[in-house]
Amino acid sequence: MDRHRDPLSARAWRAVGYGVPLAFLAFFFVFPLAEIVRRGLGSGGGESPWSVLTDSDTRQVLWFTVWQAVASTALTILVAFPAAYVLGRYEFPGRSAVRALVTVPFVLPTVVVALAFLAILPQGLQRGWAAILIAHAFFNVAVVVRVVGTFWARLDPRVSEAAATLGAGPWRRFREVTLPLLAPALSSAAAIVFLFSFTSFGIVLILGGPAYATLETEIYNQAVRVFDLRAAAVLSLVQLTCVALAVLATTRLEARLAIRGQLRSERDVLRRARTRGEKLVVLASLGGLALFLGLPLAALVERSLAVGGGHNLAAYRALTEPTAALLATPWEAVLNSLVYATGATVIAVVVGGLAAFAIARSSRWSTRLFDGLLMLPLGASAVMLGFGFVITFDRAPVDFRSAPWIVPVAQALVAIPFVVRIVVPTLRAIDERQREAAALLGAPPRRVWREIDLPIALRALAVAAGFAFAISLGEFGATVFLARPDRPTLPVAIFRFLGRPGELNAAEAYALAVVLMVVTAVSVFLVERIRVRRLGWF
């Protein structure tokens, strides 16, 4: 077709697009996992791998992991749906602020979320499955609100109106028209929530207590407390298998639910609430969500101020002073977090961006496999990753354990799937006719890429960068293994403060959580500002 294009350079680019992410993944994901498995299964003593699998405790853990994930997903959708509807149908003042604010809980570290719920749940509910489900819903509401709401806002309202002129009442319109059209967005949001709930660590650890173990907490338990490497390895494999199956199932489901049809721009779809009833719906939905999300966060702030019987800023002042809980001052932890998160963001954007371009350009099965592979770190346990790093990279020639870049690398692994998921839909959404038009106007292929693909992708990449930054800021499971004692990150510092007795330590933990919240909120807000074209689903 195009004889002027240098075939070698095209091939070289494709090699880079697939090669760099694959190499990164192989070395920093597959290698440590394989090492865990090798050592785990090879270690003598203890039970045989098979007996771990058939153990009734394991079955119970697996059962609880699955049902709490399913129930958390259902609860999250239930809680988020009214707000998604309002965001998808109405224009109102502060709409983008709402979109930014719901994201805050999602990027908060799980430790903070767990803390927030300890602070507000009534005594009887503080620990147990109900607390876990509520916390998961709090944490994941943003996923459903944003993914579904954004998609909803692009569905042509006239399609539903057409159903009305054909005699379909509101409920039938919802069931027969809106729901099927929303299905792709709903299923992908549900898949994300399911995966997060399935592999959730901090929340289950703190709110579940010893009675409620999931695979993830059990891995931590076996590896760190019981020192049964073999059991940890077997459980890791079980979890990875479950996650892989879930990823596979969702990609198939998404392909089946995908509906070709032109989406409209939000501007044409959204309208102001006019009747009393409509205004009431908007207010009630947003108000309910605000209470659900705001209460725990407000409680965090209150706790950070509660020192010595009254409310004051003592905990915040103490943040600049050395403490017995850490080998650094808490403020240094803030600084560490920012530095690490910046590094992780750069890595995630480069690796994830390269992968996204490769994925968007083809729909062959090998590309889909590549795509699925990149999603795995999202589901693999962060604890496993951190632990894998510790036992793998601890001797020459790969003695990186105390290398300053090892923390950002581990954090980037978790952020890469987000970068891919945000950038790919945007690239795929580029109307092929735009490229054709550019070509007909005389742009050679490379130029088409630069003039059309890149400018559109740049905005998506900026959004992805913001997310990667926030996620890295809050990453806990892997970082807790890897951060050197004299260079703690914020979540690690919070965890250390929590582990010590005393009112001031607790208040400092809450104060750091507030700091983390603010830093995260600011970065999310800045991302919102950049988002001119809302093509990705996040």
Partner 1 sequence: MLRVEHSTVRFDGRTALDDVTLDVGDGEVVTVLGPSGSGKTTLLRVIAGLQRPDQGRVVLDGRDLASVPPHRRGIGLVFQDHALFHHRDVAGNVAFGLRMRNEPAAAIGRRVRDMLELVGLSGFEDRSVATLSGGEQQRVALARALAPGPRVLLLDEPLGSLDRRLRDRLLDDLARLFAEVQVTAIYVTHDQAEAFALGDRVAVMRTGRLVQVGTPDAIWAQPADADLAHFLGLRNVRDGSVVRPEAVLVRVGGGDGNGVVLAAIRQGPTVRLVVSLDSGETLEALVTSLEHPEPGDRVSVEIDPAGIVELP
Is 11 or 175 the residue whose CB approaches partner 1 more closely?
175
Is 170 or 502 the residue whose CB approaches partner 1 more closely?
170
Residues 410 and 384: beta-carbon distance below 8 Å = no
Is 173 or 303 the residue whose CB approaches partner 1 more closely?
173
Query: What string marks each residue from 125 to 164 as x (binds partner 1 by CB under 8 A) or -?
Result: -------------------------------x-xx-xxxx
Does the protein bind partner 1 through residue 165 (CB under 8 A)? yes
Q: Tokens 């749906």 map to which residue?
A: 81
505-508: long-range pairs with CB below 8 Å, 24+: 505/323, 505/325, 506/303, 507/303, 507/304, 507/305, 507/306, 507/307, 507/314, 507/315, 507/318, 508/315, 508/318, 508/319, 508/323, 508/325, 508/330
- Total residues at interface with partner 1 (CB under 8 A): 23
Residues 6+ apart with CB under 8 A from 417: 352, 374, 375, 377, 378
Residues 109 and 205: beta-carbon distance below 8 Å = no
Q: Tokens 């173990």 map to which residue?
A: 213
Does the protein bind partner 1 through residue 45 (CB under 8 A)? no
Q: What is the nearest approach in angstroms of partner 1 to the Cβ of residue 249?
A: 21
Is 42 or 180 the residue whose CB approaches partner 1 more closely?
180
Segment 334 to 363, residues that bind partner 1, using CB under 8 A: none
**Rounded Cα–Cα distance for residues 355 and 253 (Å):** 22
Q: What is the nearest approach in angstroms of partner 1 to the Cβ of residue 167?
A: 4
Q: Tokens 């703690």 map to which residue?
A: 488
Residues 6+ apart with CB under 8 A from 96: 528
Segment 437 to 496, residues that bind partner 1, using CB under 8 A: none
Please pick, from the candidates 134, 135, 137, 181, the single residue that binds partner 1 as defined by CB under 8 A.
Answer: 181
Q: What is the nearest approach in angstroms of partner 1 to the Cβ of residue 280?
A: 17
**Rounded Cα–Cα distance for residues 77 and 74 (Å):** 5
Please pick, from the candidates 89, 146, 154, 173, the single residue that binds partner 1 as defined by CB under 8 A.
Answer: 173
Is 257 or 328 the residue whose CB approaches partner 1 more closely?
257
Please pick, from the candidates 15, 23, 78, 166, the single residue that binds partner 1 as defined by CB under 8 A.
Answer: 166
Q: What is the dihedral of CA 180, 183, 184, 186, to 10 degrees?
A: 160
Is 57 or 431 the residue whose CB approaches partner 1 more closely?
431
**Rounded Cα–Cα distance for residues 336 and 484 (Å):** 11
Stretch that binds partner 1, among 239-247, 259-267, 309-317, 527-535 (CB under 8 A): 259-267
CA atoms within 13 Å, Cβ hemisphere of 73:
19
Does the protein bind partner 1 through residue 123 (CB under 8 A)? no
Q: What is the nearest approach in angstroms of partner 1 to the Cβ of residue 84?
A: 19
Does the protein bind partner 1 through residue 177 (CB under 8 A)? yes
Stretch that binds partner 1, among 79-87, 145-153, 169-177, 339-347 (CB under 8 A): 169-177
Nearest in space to 194 (alpha carbons), one of 352, 58, 77: 77
Is 164 or 290 the residue whose CB approaches partner 1 more closely?
164
Q: How far is C-alpha 341 from the chain's CA centre?
A: 15
Segment 15 to 34, residues that bind partner 1, using CB under 8 A: none
Is 95 or 446 the residue whose CB approaches partner 1 more closely?
95
241-245: long-range pairs with CB below 8 Å, 24+: 242/65, 242/66, 242/198, 242/215, 242/379, 243/195, 243/198, 243/199, 243/376, 243/378, 243/379, 243/380, 244/372, 244/376, 244/379
Please pick, from the candidates 169, 277, 309, 442, the single residue that binds partner 1 as defined by CB under 8 A.
Answer: 169
Does the protein bind partner 1 through residue 431 (CB under 8 A)? no
**Rounded Cα–Cα distance for residues 445 and 271 (Å):** 40
Segment 389 to 418, residues that bind partner 1, using CB under 8 A: none
Q: What is the nearest approach in angstroms of partner 1 to the Cβ of residue 164?
A: 4
Termini Cα distance of the chain: 36
Segment 261 to 290, residues that bind partner 1, using CB under 8 A: 261, 274
Positions touching partner 1 (CB under 8 A) are 156, 158-159, 161-170, 172-173, 176-177, 180-181, 259-261, 274
